[in-house]
Amino acid sequence: MELKLGTSGTVTIPETLQKELDWQPGTSLSATVVGDQLVIKRQSDLPKWKRYRGIFSGTPDLLNELAREHAKELAKDDERIANL
């Protein structure tokens, strides 16, 4: 795929490549020169898992569900101890 350098020194990354790489506007990129090539990568200053923030929004709150389940188990244990 051919890209052209704009008059102000900018290069536009085609939308097809942006989608393939999951790059949205505002994605931080880093550029390095390797030999006679320019290599552009997603900036790796944040762990990869941070990119997935919010993908489970709208799902049940598993931590609170686990805490409620644990509280029920503790109550059952207290009841068993009281009946000894």
- In a domain, residue 29? The reply is yes
The number of domains in the chain is 1
Q: What was the pLDDT predicted at 5? A: 92
Residue 2 lies in a domain: no
Average pLDDT over residues 54-79: 86
Mean pLDDT of 2-10: 92
Q: Does the residue 78 lie in any domain?
A: yes
Domain span at residue 67 reads: 15-82
Asked if residue 7 is part of any domain, the answer here is no
Flag whether 74 is in a domain. Answer: yes
DSSP 8-state code for residue 30: E
The verdict on residue 8 lying in a domain is no
CB of 56 closer than 8 Å to CB of 62: no
Q: Determine if the pTM surpasses 0.85.
A: no
Q: What is the per-residue pLDDT across 14-60, written as a single tens digit (0 to 9) for each?
A: 999 999 998 988 888 989 999 999 999 888 655 666 667 777 777 77
Radius of gyration in angstroms for the set of CA atoms belonging to the chain, rounded to a whole number? 25
Identify the pLDDT of residue 46: 57
The answer to whether residue 5 sits within a structural domain is: no
